Structure 1
Amino acid sequence: MKLVKSLLLGSAAGIAAVAGAQAADLPSRKAAPVEYVRVCTAYGAGFFYIPGTDSCLRISGRVRAEYAVGERYSDFQDAYGTRARGRLNVDVRTQTAYGTLRTFIRYELTNNTGIYASGTGPFNVGSNVPGLSRGPASSATTSLLDLAFVQFGPITAGRAQSFFDFYASDLNFASIRTADSRVNLLAYTATFGSGFSATVSLEDRTSGTVGRELGGIIQDPVLFVNGGAAVTQGQDYPDLIASLRVDQGWGSAQLSGAVGQRNYATLANVAAVNGDEFAWAIQGGVKINLPSLAAGDALWLQAAYADGALGYLGWSGGSFGLGRLGRLSLADASINPVTGSIDNSTGWSLVAAFRHFWTPTIRTEISASYSELKLGYNDNSQLFLASRSLDPKEFLVAANVIWSPVSGLDIGVEVLYSHLDVRAPVGVVSNANVRSGVLGIKSEDTLSGRLRIQRDF
């Protein structure tokens, strides 16, 4: 019996040895390596390495639901409106020997109703509500390439925030009157250490949108003529922007200037003119961090002046709704019908904004703007009781309370008050288009409110 067991064990051992020797002669097959997604910490939270590359990617976005009510300017306009907006951000960065190479895209889809999409037709003259839809009428659903730029070291190329802007509607739901535009540009930024930097930028103002909430198109240069027709013959070069900025622990400050060339010409019925005009603007702003009050508290102060380029004050060219006052044609320049000389419109503005955290999850934001324009022409589309320029003066103030129960979620309400004065009492030509048929109105007050639920991710 013992002999049988020994024979069996020996046979098994021999077979195993032969099989192992044969297997050693066969080529080995290893499992393909798994490409795991790695976290990239070089550029902040949310970035990860694109598999197979040394580039870092961050995908983020926003969903916003908003509900607004406002005073009716016209019998043909809803007194409320709704908005749904979706935003997608794609941010790709790569470290190179020349500095960081960054590509950024922001795309938005928006659906508007009611006063968000208020019209400018003959049946709702002056229907736009300040802070809600101050630009041209927007359709029910709109798409917008808000940002699309490449940064390579000190160079920024593509569609980006204007380097003229400082306080760019950073707070509040409604936009106050301030420079806040995204334009096609080519810029160079030099850094000097200790938070100091300087930028020179070539910017195409005809490509831009104005206001994060306004959605209006920048239409400068816009020309106005009394008693005749006129055209803008384009520009020989884009606007030149220069800014000096400092960012330190106490806050930020910036001084910026813009200069551009405009070419105007007249058609019939007025003295002929064909020549260049220069437009310019200057702006200074400061942001002061106030951690002694609460973490995240800050104060913004800003002042600006523009000559021949009202878009740098946040006023978009074209037709502007004045409520019961009708509509006002805003232009960057006008032609004297007698001499044919070109007169630039001028204006200035003041902006203040404050953010305070009552608790880590509850905050209040207050912003205000005051601006005055000197237009130098009469708008013939209105019935004027005095033959003089309107020269509007506007005051806007907005205040809100926002609750952030979890990270990335904001639930808040806001109230916006607007007051507008014009130099001379005016009325519309056709009283049937407005709620009030009273002539001789010189000022307008409006009140609107919003509820916003927003998720950023």
Structure 2
Amino acid sequence: MASGSEAGGKPIGAALWRAALPAGLCFALLSQTALAAPSRLPSRPAQAPSFARACTIALPETPPLFAGKPAEPAASGEDEADDDSDSDDEEDDDDEDPPERGLVLPGSATCLSITGTVSAGIQRDSFRASRNGPPPPSSATSFPVSAAFRIATSHELASGLRVGTAFGFTMYGPVDGSSETSLDEATILVGPWTFGLDTSRFAFWTGDEFIFSARVPSRTVGLIALELPLTESWTATLAVEDPALGNASVTAPVQTGRRIPDTIGRLVYEQGGWTVHGAFALREIPGTPSRFGRAGILGATYEGEAFGKSWSLTAQLAGAIDGAPYLGSQLDARIVNRVLVASDATRGFSTVVSGRLEWTDELASNLYLSRYWLEVPLANQVRGEIRIDRLAANLVWTPVEGFKLGIENSIAWAKIALTGREIAAGLAGRQISTQLFIERSF
């Protein structure tokens, strides 16, 4: 996706955006390196050899803008009970979301963590063509393999400001004789600021509980984001994003002549078992005259327990006018990208409902149902339409931490009615996929 600066006018907004991202990255990296380096003294006595020690990655924290009143001291008889309950809550929190562990290397004050996930399996796909569509491909068996790696650092400067970095990529095994590598994350965090490549702040449900999310490149974008906690429960985020700088360019038609990046506003509520996410996106659509696309999303997750079993339920609804890249999952976006062009006017919505039930400490199942619908008014027909429905379920066995074995089955129905557009075989119609997979994390 070319920016507006490539056009004759060279708009100021595009130039500032293109300069701000690399400048911010370089400034933050040089600041961390310079301030973290030990001072050079004229002479120092020899020191005993140091060894690497364990640490945890601590992300930059910003105090809430509207802090609540401090709690009043409790009676002496209630202190011990409160302390016990607090400690139990902290242990539960640690179990649900353990910190990312790493090592402080000798001669350094930076905590370094390297993690990764390797996934392999066998997949069987069968197809049925839609009415008046191209003939479907033959049923096929494949052996998908992927490996994801992430390197994260955390360092506290002398001023008390914490700086964090993260770099992640995924390698996908041979598919149709070719391999693929995607850059999933390359960020620098300075206080409440984030610079680099990361998941769009618009996104909510990502399907991490399903194996397809490990086998399809994530929709990362280039961004500059400011995240501010409003209270202990509410967090606001403002970001400018450029899909052309990340993997999102794979799942969106290329648009040339854009002068300004996308603007994202987000509000997140987290309290108890609830997580509520609301966001709004505004994007420029080049043309004569140019126009602005917009998209909104509302999602919520609730986690609870019933009859001694943990469960969670997620629901999400997104709508967009000239904002198709913000709808649906990665799978939906890859299909839509192959039949749309950047100048198409669109309006539509996507929705998903997903649930998880942990039968035992080692056995869990996941289920999701989604719909993607897009209206595409074209000059040579009354209305074009794209509709994709998906249903997927899996059963995952985790005998030890970091090891998963499971089976997943999914079915998708796609209807693509765009007169005059070439529809590749396998895009429209029904597809049934069954996967046996094994996954190892470290």
- CA displacement, residues 75-104 of structure 1 (integer Å, 9 cap, x when unaligned): 765612122222221110012335421100
Q: Do the aligned residues in 2 keep the contact of 1:320 with 1:329 (CA within 8 Å)?
A: no
Matched, 1:217 2:250: yes
* C-alpha distance in structure 2 between counterparts of 1:180 and 1:303, whole Å: 19
User: Does 2:140 align with 1:79?
Assistant: yes
The answer (yes or no) to whether the contact 1:254–1:285 under 8 Å persists in 2 is: yes
- Does residue 288 of the first structure (1) align with residue 288 of the second (2)? no
- Work out the CA distance in 1 between the residues paired with 2:253 and 2:413: 24
Q: Do 2:57 and 2:101's aligned partners in 1 also have CA atoms closer than 8 Å? A: no
Give the structure 2 partner of residue 398 of structure 1. Answer: 392
Closer, same or farther in 2 for the Cα pair 1:320/1:35, shift >3 Å? closer
User: C-alpha distance in 1, partners of 2:238/2:261?
Assistant: 12
Q: CA deviation at 1:444?
A: 2.6
**Structure 1: runs of 5+ lacking an equivalent:** 1-29, 118-138, 211-215, 222-231, 265-273, 335-343, 380-386, 436-442
Q: Which structure is larger by alpha-carbon Rg, 1 or 2?
A: 1
Mapping of residues 253-264 of structure 1, within 5 Å: 253-264=276-287
CA shift digits 1:9-65 (9 cap, x unpaired): xxxxxxxxxxxxxxxxxxxxx996121111114643522212212211111111111
Which residue in 2 is equivalent to 1:125?
none
Residues 174-185 of structure 1: pairs in structure 2 closer than 5 A: 174=212, 181-185=219-223
CA distance 1:262–1:318, change in 2 (3 Å): farther
* Shift in Å, 1:204: 0.2
The one-letter code of the counterpart of 2:365 is: T
After superposition, the C-alpha distances for 1:199-241 in whole angstroms (9 at most, x for unaligned) are 110100222325xxxxx813245xxxxxxxxxx5421010000
Moved more, 246-255 or 352-361: 246-255
State the Cα deviation string for residues 85-126 of structure 1 (Å, max 9, x = none): 22221110012335421100112222133xxx4xxxxxxxxx
| CA root-mean-square deviation | 3.4
Q: Structure 1 residues 321 and 49, CA, compared in 2 at 3 Å: closer, same or farther?
A: closer
Question: Quick one: structure 1 residues 35 and 333, their matched pair in 2 at CA, closer, same or farther if it must change by over 3 Å?
Answer: same
Give the share of equivalent positions with the same residue, in percent: 22
Q: Distance in 2 between the 1:313 and 1:293 partners?
A: 36
Contact 1:172 1:367 in 2 (8 A): no
The one-character-per-residue Cα deviations of 1:290-336 (angstroms, maximum 9, x if unpaired) are 233556521111100011120100378999769xxxx97224543xx
Q: Supply the distance in 2 between the matched residues of 1:189 and 1:276 (Cα, whole angstroms).
A: 30
**Structure 2 equivalent of residue 54 of structure 1:** 109
- Deviation digits for residues 325-378 of structure 1, max 9, x if unmatched? xx97224543xxxxxxxxx21110111111111110010011121121110127
Unaligned runs of 5+ in 2: 1-44, 59-98, 129-134
- Of 227, 232, 238, the residue aligned with 2:261 is 238
TM-score, normalised via structure 1 length: 0.69
Offset from partner CA, 1:143-189 (integer Å, 9 cap, x none):
2221110011100000011100111222212359x996211100111
Where do residues 122-201 of structure 1 align in structure 2 (5 Å cutoff)? 140-174=178-212, 181-201=219-239
Give the 3-state SS of the residue equivalent to 2:206 in structure 1: coil
For 1:278, the equivalent position in structure 2 comes to: 292
The amino acid across from 2:392 in the alignment is: A
Task: Return the alpha-carbon distance in structure 1 between the equivalents of residues 332 and 415 of structure 2.
Answer: 19
Q: Say yes or no: does 1:251 pair with 2:261.
A: no
User: Is 1:308 aligned with 2:322?
Assistant: yes
Count of aligned pairs: 350
Match of 2:339 among 307, 324, 329: 329
Question: Are the counterparts in 2 of residues 318 and 331 from structure 1 also a CA contact under 8 Å?
Answer: no
Q: Name the CA distance, whole Å, in 1 between partners of 2:116 and 2:373.
A: 37
Q: Which has the higher strand share?
A: 1
2:429 aligns with: 444
Partner of 2:6: none
Is 1:101 the equivalent of 2:163?
yes
Cα deviations by residue, 1:380-409 (Å, 9 ceiling, x for unpaired): xxxxxxx54331222101100011111100
Cα gap change, 1:157/1:400 in structure 2, threshold over 3 Å: closer, same or farther?
same
Structure 2: which amino acid aligns with 1:362?
A: L
Closer, same or farther: CA 367–317 of 1 in aligned 2, 3 Å: closer
1:67 to 115, 118, 122: 122
Matched AA of 1:107: F
Task: Output the CA distance in 2 between the equivalents of 1:427 and 1:276.
Answer: 25
Asked if the contact 1:308/1:332 (under 8 Å) is kept, the reply is no
- Aligned ranges for residues 278-427 of structure 1 at < 5 Å? 278-292=292-306, 296-314=310-328, 329-331=339-341, 333-334=343-344, 344-377=345-378, 387-422=381-416
Establish whether residue 206 from structure 1 lines up as the match of residue 221 from structure 2: no
| Aligned-partner Cα distance in 2 for 1:392–1:358 | 37
What is the rounded CA distance, in whole Å, between the counterparts of 2:268 and 2:335 in structure 1? 35
User: What residue is the counterpart of 2:149 in the other structure?
Assistant: 88
Q: TM-score, normalised by structure 2?
A: 0.71
Structure showing the higher helix proportion among its residues: 2
C-alpha separation between the residues in 2 aligned to 1:164 and 1:293?
A: 35
Instruction: Verify the 8 A CA contact 1:319 1:330 in the aligned structure 2.
Output: no
Paired letter, 1:372: W
